[in-house]
Amino acid sequence: MTTAAFHRPALADAFDGVYDMVVIGAGITGVHVAREAAGRGLRVALVDKGDVGGGTSSATTKYLHGGIRYLEQRQFGVVRDSLRERRILTLGATHLVEQRRFLMPGWSWSKPSTAIIGLGVALYTAMGFDRNRGLPRSLRSSFPRWVRKRRLLDEVPWLDPVGLRGAWAYDDTLNVHPERLLLSYVRDAVDLGATVRTHCAVRGFDVDDGRVVGVRVADAVGRDGVGGDVGGGAASADATVTISAHTVVNAAGPWMDVVLRPLENDDVQRSTRPLGVGVQRSKGVHTLTRPLGGEATVYCRSKTGNHVIVSPWQGHSFIGPTDTPIDADPDAVHVDRDDVDSILASVNSTLADSEPVLTIDDVEATTVGIRPLVDGGADSYTASRRHQLYDHEPAGFRGIWSIGGGKWTTGRATASATLDELVASPLLAHVRDAPQSPEFDSTTRPTFASPGWGADPSAFFDAALTTSPDVSLAPEVRLHLARLYGTELDTLLDLVRADPSLAAPISERTNDIAAQVVHAVTVEGALTLADIVDRRLVIGTVGPVTPDELTAVARLAAPWMGWNDALVEAEVAAEVQRRSGLEQRWRG
Give the phi and the psi of residue 289 in degrees, each rounded to 5.
-130, 180
Cβ atoms 238, 218 nearer than 8 A:
yes
**Residue 436 pLDDT:** 62
Report whether pLDDT(228) > 60.
no
CA nearest to 400, candidates 207, 247, 257, 274: 247
**pTM assigned to the model:** 0.94
> Which residues are within 8 A (CB) of 332 and not within 5 positions of it... i.e. 6 or more apart?
none
> Which residues are within 8 A (CB) of 551 and not within 5 positions of it... i.e. 6 or more apart?
568, 572
Cβ atoms 495, 519 nearer than 8 A:
yes
Q: What is the DSSP string of 182-228?
A: HHHHHHHHHHTT-EEE-SEEEEEEEEETTEEEEEEEEE--BTTTB--
Percentage with pLDDT > 70 across the chain? 92
d(CA 322, CA 277): 25
> Which residues are within 8 A (CB) of 573 and not within 5 positions of it... i.e. 6 or more apart?
none
Give the phi and the psi of residue 319 in degrees, each rounded to 5.
-125, 135
Write the burial class of residue 581 (CB in 10 Å: 0-12 exposed, 13-18 middle, 19+ buried): exposed
Report whether pLDDT(1) > 60.
no
Q: Domains in the chain and their CATH numbers?
A: 17-56+180-278+386-432 (3.50.50.60), 98-176+282-373 (3.30.9.10), 457-587 (1.10.8.870)
d(CA 551, CA 442): 40
Q: How confident is the model at residue 477 (pLDDT cuts 50, 70, 90)?
A: very high
**Residue 265 pLDDT:** 65
Give the phi and the psi of residue 311 in degrees, each rounded to 5.
-120, 125
Segment holding 153, helix H or strand E: helix 149-155
**Residue 385 pLDDT:** 57
Q: How confident is the model at residue 303 (pLDDT cuts 50, 70, 90)?
A: confident
Report whether pLDDT(501) > 60.
yes
- Assign 245 to helix, strand or coil: strand
